[in-house]
């Protein structure tokens, strides 16, 4: 089953905790926000744990993990 990560650009406040705990999945932009802000994409194999850590680390709750059916909706 595919799992997706979704980053809500309206909720992201640029704390940087997500890309600090998930450097193989997320990166920062010039302003310190997660570069993937506003995107939903499939989590590559082997990075599900980092994705969960990123979601857990976000104080704004801007990061969600979605199963394939919800990502297509």
Instruction: List own/partner pairs for 52-55 with CB under 8 A and 24 or more apart.
Output: 53/21, 53/22, 54/5, 54/17, 54/18, 54/19, 54/21, 54/22, 54/25, 54/26, 55/5, 55/18
pLDDT in tens, 12-45: 999 999 999 999 999 999 999 999 999 999 999 9
Which pLDDT score is estimated for 18? 96
Position 72 scores a pLDDT of: 52
Whether the predicted pLDDT of 71 surpasses 60: no
| pTM > 0.85 | yes
């Amino acid at each position: 089953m595919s799992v997706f990560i979704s980053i809500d650009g309206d909720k992201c406040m640029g704390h940087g905790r997500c890309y600090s705990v998930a450097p193989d999945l997320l990166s920062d932009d010039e302003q310190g926000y997660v570069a993937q802000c506003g995107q939903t994409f499939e989590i590559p194999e082997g990075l599900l744990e980092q994705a969960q850590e990123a979601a857990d680390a976000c104080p704004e709750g801007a990061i969600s993990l979605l199963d394939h059916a919800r990502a297509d909706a």
